[in-house]
Amino acid sequence: MTAPVPVASAAAQPVASDRVWTIPNLLSFFRLAGVPLFVYLLLGPEADGWAIAILMVAGVTDWADGKLARMLNQSSRLGALLDPAADRLYILATLIAFVIRDVVPIWVVAVILGRDVLVGFSLLVLRRYGYQALQVNYVGKAATFNLLYAFPLLLLAVGTSGVAPFVAPLAYAFTAWGGVLYVLSGIAYVRQVFEIAAADSSHPMS
């Protein structure tokens, strides 16, 4: 959403309110509700076409909730948590389903999951110093978009349709770009957290 900011202002910007029932939050709830259905379609009937449709809707609502929050002045603390949580759930659920169906190797899931565990640990450190989550930066958002584009393309690439040979290179390219950017955004997040912690430690409260 926004580019990485200097450490002095790296903490999340104040959000508008504690409101729950806003249009952006409803879109995020809707996106979260699609996760179990998406997993069922992938692993149950293997209805890849419908699964791709859900991914497309998730991508549109991911863009729309942030846009509407700014346009309608409906930013909220809950929304700041729901938006990245929905993104991560879709990514993790998709990767696990893809491993079960032999679409991607297990090490891909290990890398992505390891990144999220590291970011989660750094968030605990951040809160120890009295800060909330940092702003989502362009690298992290670009990583999410790349992965969400990659997933439906991967489904098409392993399918039996005539487009599979043509889609495969693009699918693997988006997967590689998204994976690298996802890891880099995690490293940047952890670096910012520990710079904040180091700065606070060097200026103890009197």
Check if the beta carbon of residue 42 is closer than 8 Å to that of residue 48. Answer: yes
- How far does Cα 164 stand from its chain's mean position? 26
Under the banding of pLDDT at 50, 70 and 90, the label for residue 70 is confident
Spans of all domains in the chain: 15-201
User: pLDDT value at position 136?
Assistant: 66
Question: 88-127 pLDDT, tens per residue?
Answer: 888 888 888 889 988 888 888 888 888 888 888 888 887 7
Residues 6+ apart with CB under 8 A from 159: 48
Check if the beta carbon of residue 182 is closer than 8 Å to that of residue 140. Answer: yes
Mean pLDDT of the chain: 79
Under the banding of pLDDT at 50, 70 and 90, the label for residue 204 is low
Nearest to 81 by CA among 73, 70, 89, 71: 89
* CATH architecture of the domain with residue range 15-201: Up-down Bundle (1.20)
Question: 118-155 pLDDT, tens per residue?
Answer: 888 888 887 777 776 666 677 888 888 888 888 888 88
User: pLDDT value at position 128?
Assistant: 79
Token pair listed for 60: 């549109």
What distances in angstroms separate CA 161 from CA 40, 158, 165, 205, one per listed residue?
22, 9, 9, 64
User: pLDDT value at position 180?
Assistant: 92
Nearest to 84 by CA among 62, 64, 69: 62
Under the banding of pLDDT at 50, 70 and 90, the label for residue 40 is very high
94 burial type by CB count under 10 A (0-12 exposed, 13-18 middle, 19+ buried):
buried
Long-range contacts of 105-111 (CB under 8 A, 24+ apart): 108/175, 108/179, 111/179, 111/183
Token pair listed for 64: 């729309």
Q: Pick the residue with more confidence: 49 or 74? A: 49
